[in-house]
Structure 1
Amino acid sequence: MEIIKDLQFQNRSKYSSLPFAVIRLQRFEQSEPSQQQRTSQQLSPMSKKKWELLGSSKKVDELFQASRKNGGVRKVGIPGVDVWVDPHPQKQAENHVLKIMRDGKCKWPRQKLIKVSESYPSMTKTYIPSCTILYRCGDDTGCCSLPTQKCTAKNSTTVELYFTTTRVEVRDGNRTVRQDVEKLTFTNDTECDCVEMMPRDMELERMIDHKKTGCTCPTEFSPRYMSNGLCTCDCFDKQNDCLRYKRGLKYFEHSDRLCIAEGRCEKPLCRFGVYEHKYGRCPKRHEKFQKFSKYIS
Structure 2
Amino acid sequence: MKKYGFTMKQLSYVSCGLLIGSSNALAGEVYHLNFDQFDAGSYSKQNVKDDTNANYGKGFYDGSDPRSDRAMIDSSESVTGNGQSLRITFPAGKLKTADSGVDTRIPLSGTASKNTYAADELYLSYWIKFSDNFEFSQCGGKLPSLGGADYASRENQWKGRIMWRPGGSIQFYMELPHDLDKIDSDFDRFWGEKEVDGGAICDNRFSPYLATSGWHNIELHYKLNSLGQSDGLFEGWVDGNKGYKLVNADVFGNYRPEGGEQDKLTINSILLSTFLGGSSDQYKMAEDTYIWVDEFKVSTTRVNEYHRYSNGQW
Would you call these one fold, judging by a TM-score over 0.5? no
More contact order relative to length (CA 8 Å, sep ≥ 6): 2
Q: TM-score range by the shorter chain?
A: under 0.3
TM-score (norm 1): 0.21
Query: Which structure's residues are more often helix, by fraction?
Result: 1
